[in-house]
Amino acid sequence: MTTKEIYAAGSPFRQVQHLRHNLHLTENDLADATGASTRTVRRWSGAEAELSAPRYAERIDDLHAVVAELEDSLTAKGIRQWLRARNRSLSGARPIELLCEGKFEPVYEAACAFRDGEYL
């Protein structure tokens, strides 16, 4: 399944599995993007584990949407770098930190701009 197909299915468990195993995002990456502890993220890897708070499910959904826009342009390593690097189109903020704060729209717009070749 592609990231976009998994995103459309809407299962936070599947999204976490895809982000971890197919795109090689670490427990720390998911923790930083959601505000959850790494221990909580580790529990999400269990069989059909429930995300313990609705905001975590929302943050995973947001992260998954951003990654879906980037995966045709970047490798898994490139996506991790893009998420953690300061971004000019986000006034120097790191996308992963903005996602944690619930600021999905500007990160999504920056990902779409990158996908479309607007690097500044």
Evaluate whether 11 touches 64 at the Cβ level (below 8 Å): no
Q: Would 54 be classed as within a structural domain?
A: yes
What is the count of structural domains for the chain?
1
Q: Would 120 be classed as within a structural domain?
A: no
Distance CA 97, CA 11 (A): 23
Q: Would 52 be classed as within a structural domain?
A: yes
The boundaries of the domain holding residue 38 are 3-115
Q: At what angle do helices 76-84 and 54-70 cross, to 10 degrees?
A: 120
Q: What is the mean pLDDT of the chain?
A: 85
Lowest mean pLDDT across 23-27, 40-44, 68-72: 40-44
Q: Would 18 be classed as within a structural domain?
A: yes
This prediction's pTM: 0.82
Q: Would 53 be classed as within a structural domain?
A: yes
What is the mean predicted confidence (pLDDT) over 35-63? 78
Q: Would 37 be classed as within a structural domain?
A: yes
Q: Tell me the helices (H) and strands (E) count for the chain, helix number first.
A: 8, 0
Q: Would 49 be classed as within a structural domain?
A: yes
